[in-house]
Amino acid sequence: MAMVSRFAFFLLWISVLSSTTHSELVISRIDRRVDLSSHIVRALFSMKVENVGSKVVSEVLLAFPNMQAKNLAAIKTLYNEGRGKVKASSVSLPTAVVEPEGMPPELTFYSVSLPKGLEKGGTVSLDVLAVFAHSLQPFPEEITQADGQLVVYQDSAYYLSPYTVKVQTLGIRLPGGRVESYTKFPNAKLVDSEITYGPFENLPAFSYSPVIVHFENNYPFAVAHELVREIEISHWGNVQITEHYNLVHGGAKTKGGFSRLDYQARSSVRGASSFSHLIFRLPPRAHSIYYRDEIGNISTSHFWGDSRKTQLEIEPRFPIFGGWKTSFTIGYGLPLQDFLFKVDGKRMLNITFGSPMDEVIVDNLIVKVVLPEGSNGISASVPFPTKQGEEIKYSHLDIVGRPVLVLEKSNVVPEHNLYFQVYYHFNNLSLLGEPMMLISGFFLLFVACIVYMHTDMSISKSSASYLAKIQLEEVQATVQQIQNIINQCLAVHDKLDASLRDLSRTGDVQSCKIARKTADAQLKELVKELKPLVTFLHHSPQASHIWPKVEELVAKEKDMQEKMFLRHSTVVDCFEKKLGGREIENRVASQQQKLAALRQEVDDLLEFLDEI
Amino acid sequence: MGAKAENGPKPPPPLSSPPPFKALVKLKTKQQELLIRSAALALIYVLAFAIRLFSVLRYESMIHEFDPYFNYRTTLFLTRNGFYEFWNWFDSESWYPLGRIIGGTLYPGLMVTAALIYRALRFLTFAVHIREVCVLTAPFFASNTTLVAYFFGKEIWDAGAGLVAAALIAICPGYISRSVAGSYDNEGVAIFALLFTFYLFVKAVNTGSLAWSLASAFGYFYMVSAWGGYVFIINLIPLYVLVLLVTGRYSMRLYVAYNCMYVLGMMLAMQIRFVGFQHVQSGEHMAAMGVFFLMQVFYFLYWVKDMLNDTKLFQSFLQITLTCAIGVGTLALGIGMASGYISPWTGRFYSLLDPTYAKDHIPIIASVSEHQPTAWSSFMFDFHILLILFPAGLYFCFKRLSDATIFIVMYGLTSMYFASVMVRLILVAAPAVCLISAIAISATIKNLTTLIRKKSKAALTVSSKATSNLKASAKALLDQSLPFQRNGAIAVLVGAFYLLSRYAIHCTWVTSEAYSSPSIVLAARGAHGGRVIFDDYREAYYWLRQNTPPDAKVMSWWDYGYQITAMGNRTVIVDNNTWNNTHIATVGRAMSSYEHEAYEIMQSLDVDYVLVVFGGLTGYSSDDINKFLWMVRIGGGVFPVIKEPDYLVNGEYRVDKGAAPKMLNCLMYKLSYYRFGEVTTEYGKPTGYDRARGVEIGNKDIKLEYLEEAFTTSNWIIRIYKVKPPKNRW
């Protein structure tokens, strides 16, 4: 391989340099364990550093070849306080890139700042976790559907360090499939899919010896070229998260066709390198989950949830083979109170940064925190360096737009799934702005309707049709008034009837007379009211067609009044003369009959007028 | 009705009288009416929208079928790039290598409408996606159609009939089939535009007002911009005018309404590029022009008649003028036709007048299932009781003949004819059928209720006075002309309500079961009664979109062209526009040739991928094998090397062992059944058993030489093959 020759050149450099190291530190023991079971390479270095010089040392340098360093996604150093195996008291130490003088440019150095200076003769135990993305090269680079995916991993058998290393071992854990080849060393052995090198003793600084492992790894090589996470906060009680994935299978490219038959019949063999499921571990109490892409909803997803976690398993539309791409969007809502807190009068959003998807490498992650309209004083605290920016987003009913905090980071691995905080000021009163807008909008609409109904919009107030319309409306109103009055008259008649019935029951002539008097007065009043209306109707040209009916109605009613009073007086007379019940009935029978007929006619007329 | 007729002339009674609610007593009757009427209308408006959301509930908010995908794609383009770019859009992604001038070959009404709604919502600070707007455009316009139906009904009969018409059309399956949420097609807005134009025109004829006539011209303009069906308007209105002239109903109102509408409408329609000068150049539009000139002659004659005051002189003048006018007209038409200035009728138009025409001459029109003649069952399915009420409504219309009712009768009869010629035109007939049925329902119910109410009032009075006199009640009973009139009326009323409720139930059922499927996503019942979804179309299109080169050309039968460009975002050879028959025939020829011949055709067309639809595994019957004979026919129509009998055995179309050898080895067969012979589809059946056609396939050992399988969806419904590059010569 081409790389090997470069390494050789590299070693030359190092041999030149090794004499010039002026370090006072010595690594007394280092155990390196490299985990290759997924497509993210995790290397854990447990080292014991000893100060053999005279000065107090406050930092330890870690060296990585540039080739590895460019894939280094995350590095974390833990410092064990307690001697022995008590890991609980480990403290994370700041680790940063440095460029010390006189060091070869092919190496990238990270400096670990020790919590307190290391005295002469003192030792310190450090655990360094380095996570590498894109460090497994598929070889061959193109495979068919039926082939397993072979990848190559390169490292050095010796720990590349600016310090002398006394004792060291290297263990490489493989996923457990076929191992095509690995660099043989006298003390290298392969046991149960784990290759161990070493121990090697007393190697000078910058010792390097390349190791190449070629093995089968069918782990889903899910790589998101770009992931945009949008975290939208609504102070009504919801945090809405929308994640747009642009996913690609980062392993060996597929050549030749894709046979569904082979895939369906023996998918574990004929399609081993593909993946068709992705697991998302969402925060607890996630709700309203959706999964879609540009052309619609994707119905193949499963979802489990309990009080501690929510798990979402999605299937892309098609199985993803090497080099195939897909893109999709998932979204979910989270309860606000789990993530938003008040700190010193400021609001603090505390939420995870990375993707909730299992073992995914995100080449370029953009996190957008959309704060409610009217937020200000925005600041963020992220546990690792990111590029920050701001923009404005317009959503429903926004006038000035919502401030959006944009955080960008490349090469993101699950180790970056840490909480970060966004602080901002927000006045609760702003919450009411949008509902008020809606309310006032509807209010104005109704007001406009009312105004429209009550104003006269016609342009020419003197045109014939307009006047006719006005008159017609007046006539209709008058007819309605007349109807009302007639109805009142009828009610009075009924009262009179009732008084007669009372009379026949109690024989109280006096009260009956009083009733008659009041009825008389009421009817007179009503007739007086009726008069102007009837005259108006009589003279209105628009009413010509209903006038006869109204006239008839009024006349009939008048007739009825007379008949009513006549009957009333007859009955009262009879009572005063103390005539028998049958006698009275006989006397009023004809009147009764006429009254009923009249009443019927009046009712018919009223109904007819109703229909106009 | 009878009661009213006695009472001489008076303004048409405004709708069914409202029940005397105690709370409403204080309002004037007019206001009560208005309140109840507008409340009912508002409910109908909401109902029309809501019933069309079944598709969103059953499936999702997505665009349906084929053409809507093109409309969606163009709308997307319009909102992104603006109207100017849209108008000048040359689309190189379809009809490769010819391309298509989109701006000049489409009716932009729908897209512009959706884009305007989108802009308006955005302006009102509603951050909606354009897809949501597109999905809901059709239901929104269906709701508006109910309003128009109300006003139309009010114009031709009375407000009661208008309300009933609005309610009927809100849930009429014939209309719903084309206007469910997601059915983003021209018809969605066009039916609204059609009815609106008709309403405005009838209003113009009734009032003789220039304003209404102008409005109807603009309505016509909107219709022209939205749908090719505007030809129906431009032929029906002249026909109507002609009928009025013949029946002696010529009036100044008609003159104003028609002339203004025609002249202005024609001018406006010319602004649509796809229509252009057809109004003066194409045979289909000549009737309108002829009637326009006829109107002028009529007007002239009336004027002369006024001036002359001499019947005899006028008679002779009439003869001379008429002969001259007809002579000049025929001569002009003849010269126009002969010189080619006036184009003859198009095939589509012919096939409407003669249902057998397309079958013999234009296979590409006949191949579309929605262009088939309508079966009785689908009439029943789409109209239900309206089909029975329609003649009854016609009876009522004839009983009260007026300019407006003549219009609705003509609209009803002509559209009913067209509906029986072509399935999809049921849509055009739906509003007319609803309106005419509404007249029947409204008039009947009104008569019945008058009967019942009169008698009930009498009964009421009788009972209240029962104590006082028996003779009076006896007299009241004598008024009744028939012994069981009231009971009979109640029975008929109950029957009518039963029928109407059956109609409502039927409509809801049809909408939810039959018309809400997007046809992109197929749903079936699984073995355990669960719902199984076949989302293969989108699986394949999305695969194309993600995993083929951006400039890949995909060859498929034209049905899937729009979907591939919209969802797969890839260039296609032919699509649903079907403007170039030769190009489609070339694809048909490639599909029906042997593989090596097809390879040459595909090479000449730069094809990278071939997509076929195959239903043999799932039993999905509208797949390419079942459409294959049309490909042969269309291909053979242009390239005589393809002969239909080669693919048939004794006139029978088979895919099993007894199939014709050419059939078993043509490209379509090979691509559909490639490696299908190894699959067991059904228990107890041999391998390679085709479930869509229920036979064991005839050629199980298919080898592909020039193509390779690139992708097959999980249920095998879509199979995509990659065309291999040419072999090196050395």
Closest by CA position to B233, among listed B219, B247, B245, B244 = B219
Q: How many helices (H) and strands (E) does chain B have?
A: 31, 11
Asked if residue A88 has pLDDT above 70, the reply is: no
A484 falls in which pLDDT band (50, 70, 90)? confident
Cα B185 from Cα B183, distance rounded (Å): 6
Q: Hey, is the C-beta of B724 within 8 angstroms of any chain A C-beta?
A: no
CB contact under 8 A, A295 and B714: no
Closest among A402, A417, A380, A356 to A232, alpha carbons compared: A402
Q: Which of A259, A480, A545 sits opposite B675 (nearest CB)?
A: A259
CB contact under 8 A, B533 and A607: no
A505 in contact with B, Cβ within 8 Å: no
pLDDT score for B706: 92
Chain A, 391-410: which have a CB under 8 Å from a chain B CB?
Answer: 394-399
Residue with tokens 């309209």: A373
Q: Work out the percent of chain A whose per-residue pLDDT is above 90.
A: 33
Can you tell me whether residue A518 is helix, strand or coil? helix
What fold does the segment set B535-723 form as a domain? Rossmann fold (3.40.50)
Strand order in the sheet with B571-572: B571-572, B553-555, B609-613, B718-723, B707-712
Contact A258 B711 (CB under 8 A): yes
Is the Cβ pair A396, B125 closer than 8 Å? yes
Q: Residue A298 and residue B535: Cβ atoms within 8 Å?
A: yes
| Window 299-328 of A, Cβ < 8 Å to B | 299-300, 317-318, 324-327
B476–A299 C-beta distance less than 8 A: no
If pLDDT is split at 50, 70 and 90, which confidence band does A409 have?
very high
The secondary element (H helix, E strand) that includes residue A246 is strand A238-249
pLDDT for position B109: 94
Contact criterion met (CB < 8 Å) for B127 and A611? no
Q: Which of A247, A369, A350, A340 is nearest to A298 (CA)?
A: A247
Contact list in B for residue A318 (CB cut-off 8 A) is 539, 542-543, 711, 713-714
Q: Is B62 on the interface with A (CB under 8 A)?
A: yes
Query: What's the confidence (pLDDT) of residue A522?
Result: 86
| CB within 8 Å: B17 and A611 | yes
Q: How many CB contacts within 8 angstroms connect chain A with chain B?
A: 111
Mean residue pLDDT across chain A: 85
CB contact under 8 A, A317 and B538: yes
What the block records as the tokens of B343 is: 């184009």
The alpha carbon of residue A277 is apart from the nearest alpha carbon of chain B, in Å, by 15
Q: How far is A575 from chain B (nearest CA, A)?
A: 18
Higher pLDDT, B178 or A544: B178
pLDDT for B20 equals 44
Helix (H) or strand (E) holding B281: helix B278-281
**Is the minimum CB–CB distance between A597 and chain B shorter than 8 Å?**
yes
Nearest to B611 by CA among B671, B678, B526: B671
Instruction: Give whole-number Cα distances, B522 to B65, B531, B617, B619, B682, in Å.
Output: 11, 10, 14, 12, 20
DSSP code per residue over B461-493: HHHHTTTT-HHHHHHHHHT-SSTTHHHHHHHHH
Q: Quick check: B10 contacting A, CB < 8 Å?
A: yes
Report the C-alpha gap between A446 and A443 in whole angstroms: 5
Non-local (6+) Cβ contacts of B105 within 8 A are B274, B577, B579
CB contact under 8 A, B62 and A260: no
The answer to whether residue B675 neighbours chain A at the CB level (below 8 Å) is yes
Check A318 against B539: CB less than 8 A apart: yes
- Following DSSP, what letter does each residue of B596-628 receive, concatenated? HHHHHHHHHTT--EEEEE--TTTT--SSHHHHH
What pLDDT score was predicted for residue A10? Answer: 52
**Across the interface, do B28 and A256 touch by the CB < 8 Å criterion?**
no
Question: Which residues 107-166 in chain B show a CB within 8 A of chain A?
Answer: 125-127
Q: Which of B13, B62, B547 sits opposite A325 (nearest CB)?
A: B547
Length of chain B: 730
Per-residue pLDDT at B18: 42
DSSP letter at A400 equals S
* A83-87, A540-544, A584-588, B110-114: least confident range: A83-87
User: Are the Cβ atoms of B538 and A261 closer than 8 angstroms?
Assistant: no
Assigned token pair, B192 = 């609204």
Q: Do domains A222-426 and A466-611 have the same CATH topology?
A: no
Of A294, A395, A399, the CB nearest to B127: A395
Q: Which of B126, B539, B708 is the closest to A396 by Cβ?
A: B126
Q: Both tokens of residue A295?
A: 């052309």
Residue of A318, A324, A596 with shortest CB distance to B468 = A596
Residue A603 is nearest to which of B461, B468, B538, comparing CB atoms? B461
Q: Does B13 touch chain A (CB under 8 A)?
A: yes
Distance in Å, alpha carbon of A241 to nearest chain B alpha carbon:
17
pLDDT digits (tens, 9 = 90+) for B426-440: 999 999 999 999 999
Residues of chain B with pLDDT under 50: 1-25, 460-480
User: Strand A361-370 relative to strand A222-234: parallel, antiparallel, unpaired?
Assistant: parallel
The answer to whether the CB atoms of A480 and B29 lie below 8 A apart is: yes
A446 Cβ under 8 Å from any chain B Cβ: no
Fold of A25-82+89-216: Immunoglobulin-like (2.60.40)
User: pLDDT, tens digit, for every residue of A133-165?
Assistant: 999 999 889 998 888 899 999 998 899 888 889
Closest-CA distance, B3 to chain A, in angstroms, reads: 9
Could you say which of B28, B472, B711 has the minimum Cβ distance to residue A593?
B472
Q: Does A607 touch chain B (CB under 8 A)?
A: yes
Query: pLDDT value at position B456?
Result: 56
DSSP B30-60: HHHHHHHHHHHHHHHHHHHHHHTTHHHHHS-
> What is the pLDDT at residue B19?
44
The hierarchical CATH code for the domain A222-426 is 2.60.40.1730
Three-state secondary structure along B78-93? HHHHHHHHHHCCEECC
Q: Determine the CATH number of domain A466-611.
A: 1.20.120
Q: Which member of B10, B475, B541 has the closest CB to residue A545?
A: B10
Give the start-to-end residue ranges of the domains of chain B.
535-723
Taking the Cβ of residue B665 and every Cβ of chain A, the question of whether any pair is shorter than 8 Å is answered with no
User: Which residues, numbered 514 to 573 in chain A, qualify as contacts with chain B under a Cβ-Cβ cut-off of 8 Å?
Assistant: 545-546
Q: List chain A residues with CB under 8 Å of B29.
A: 476, 480, 610
CA A80 to mean position of chain CA atoms: 42
Cis peptide before A199 (omega within 30 of 0): yes
Per the document, the length of chain A is: 612
Chain centre to alpha carbon of residue B720:
33
CB contact under 8 A, B708 and A317: no
Where exactly are the structural domains of chain A?
25-82+89-216, 222-426, 466-611
Rounded-to-integer distance, Cα A568 and Cα B277, Å? 86
Cis peptide before A138 (omega within 30 of 0): no
Q: What is the pLDDT of residue B28?
A: 64
Interface test with B, best of A230, A260, A481, A552 (most B CBs within 10 A): A260
